[in-house]
Amino acid sequence: MTSHLIATYELRPSPGESVEAKASDITLEQTVELPESVLSRHIKARVPGRILAITAVDEGCWRAEIEYPDIAPGTELLQTVNVLYGNISLKAGIRLVDVAWPDAMLAAFGGPGVGMTGLRELTGVRDRVLLATALKPVGLSARDLASHAALFAEGGIDLIKDDHGLANQPTAPFQERLTACQRAVERADGNALYLPNVTAGWPELVERTMAAAEAGCRAVLVNPLLSGLETMRWIRDHTGLAVLAHPSMSGVFFDAGHGIAPEILLGDLFRLAGADMVIYPNVGGRFGFDQALCDRLNHRLRAPLGTLRACAPVPAGGMDAARAPDWARRYGADTILLIGGSLYARGDLKQAARTLRDAVEAIA
């Protein structure tokens, strides 16, 4: 930890631009938003960011550590994100690759409400990796989705979530789907949880989250980059429901030379904002994360961070059920494997779920 916010950027200056000028511009752009010449001595001494170090990484690429005084971010999450990357997102060749968080911020943001430990209590799963799947596709009726939910629950899946594209479409309106799926999961043997997708504007997100709590759900799914990062804190503080965060839209941040590194956005920021579990596209699936990145992200979600609870990594995105034991071994038990399409491809959902469950129990 650190006493002030420290951001590390990878900088790729344009031709003719020095790395020092580029770093110095960030210290002003992200705080005072004025040229230095216009600042009073009082402001100049207290408010702009401070360059702690600049080190060469590679041909044309440097790492710059910038410390921001407490005045700029304050202790609110959105303003902190704004300081870390808001306006400079519109400039070229700046990538946020690391953040050191002051204790005051960690305490103010709070992080996961239940974390991995709480999820073990909710599901009753002590030792093994947890299993999750998705109800899909959009277009099915609430009844059809609920019958999928029942089969998955009976087959031994621990967390059964809505597909993140299920909102409030007329084919399966939210309230009808919530009631049907939650009832289906409760009726099945076991401790399976149903996680409805509450992503929506306000006040709909509030209404749907409250409805989920009333229906007996213990966790919900949300797309924080659509509904706003702070919706996770609201859910945590006002309902106590566990939060499964979906990475929809996050890919725009992940350019190799610009944006925010996945382990900072999906790792630190999602965790700080209150996610108990974070879905990410596992290596080898439909998306482009490599193994080293997945390992870093898992580490970041679970690493000690002030007094924050550990968050559960949820690798997903086209994982083959047959490889689940391999992933469980590689990623460790404090992981949730989210497997959807590969179960649907087997036809008999209950049997497919049971086979998967048996396979991961065998290695627990």
Residues 165-194 that bind a copy of itself (CB under 8 A): 165, 167-171
Residue 90 or residue 292: which is nearer to a copy of itself going by CB? 90
Contact flag: residue 258 with a copy of itself (CB under 8 A): yes
Binding mask 223-252 for a copy of itself (x = CB under 8 A): x--xxxxxx-xx------------xxxxxx
CB of 180 to a copy of itself, least distance (A): 18
Contact flag: residue 31 with a copy of itself (CB under 8 A): yes
Structure tokens at 2: 């650190």
Strands 130-135 and 336-338: parallel
Strands 61-68 and 5-11: antiparallel
Q: How many CB atoms lie within 10 A of CB 109?
A: 22
The Cα–Cα gap between 306 and 130 comes to: 25
Q: Which residues contact 145 (CB under 8 A, 6 or more apart)?
A: 135, 136, 162, 166, 172, 177, 180, 181
The Cα–Cα gap between 284 and 288 comes to: 8
Residue 119 or residue 281: which is nearer to a copy of itself going by CB? 281
Contact flag: residue 202 with a copy of itself (CB under 8 A): yes
Residue 17 or residue 186: which is nearer to a copy of itself going by CB? 17
Residues 116/129, Cβ–Cβ less than 8 Å: no
Q: How many CB atoms lie within 10 A of CB 33?
A: 8
Residues 128/45, Cβ–Cβ less than 8 Å: no
Tokens 């001595």 -> residue: 41
CB of 118 to a copy of itself, least distance (A): 22
Residue 125 or residue 321: which is nearer to a copy of itself going by CB? 321
Of the candidate residues 20, 24, 34, 186, the single one contacting a copy of itself (CB under 8 A): 34
Of the candidate residues 139, 290, 299, 326, the single one contacting a copy of itself (CB under 8 A): 139
Rg (CA), the chain: 22
Residue 125 or residue 135: which is nearer to a copy of itself going by CB? 135
Of the candidate residues 21, 52, 57, 92, the single one contacting a copy of itself (CB under 8 A): 92
The region of 4-12, 125-133, 183-191, 202-210 touching a copy of itself under the rule CB under 8 A is: 202-210
Q: How many CB atoms lie within 10 A of CB 184?
A: 25
The Cα–Cα gap between 92 and 82 comes to: 17
Residues 115/309, Cβ–Cβ less than 8 Å: yes
Structure tokens at 115: 């974390």
Contact flag: residue 106 with a copy of itself (CB under 8 A): no
Contact flag: residue 321 with a copy of itself (CB under 8 A): no
CB of 86 to a copy of itself, least distance (A): 4
Contact flag: residue 352 with a copy of itself (CB under 8 A): no
Contact flag: residue 272 with a copy of itself (CB under 8 A): no
- Restricting to residues 46-85, name those near a copy of itself by CB under 8 A: 46-47, 71-72, 74, 76-79, 81-83, 85
Q: Minimal CA–CA distance to 224: which of 266, 175, 165, 264? A: 266
Contact flag: residue 133 with a copy of itself (CB under 8 A): no
Q: What are phi and psi of 64, to 5 degrees?
A: -120, 130
The Cα–Cα gap between 96 and 263 comes to: 10
The region of 53-61, 146-154, 281-289, 304-312 touching a copy of itself under the rule CB under 8 A is: 281-289
CB of 78 to a copy of itself, least distance (A): 4
Structure tokens at 293: 């990145």
The region of 37-45, 50-58, 182-190, 298-306 touching a copy of itself under the rule CB under 8 A is: 37-45
CB of 13 to a copy of itself, least distance (A): 14
CB of 80 to a copy of itself, least distance (A): 9
CB of 74 to a copy of itself, least distance (A): 4
The neighbouring-strand residues paired with 337 are 131
Nearest 10 degrees: Cα torsion 290, 292, 297, 303: 170
Q: How many residues bind a copy of itself (CB under 8 A)?
A: 83
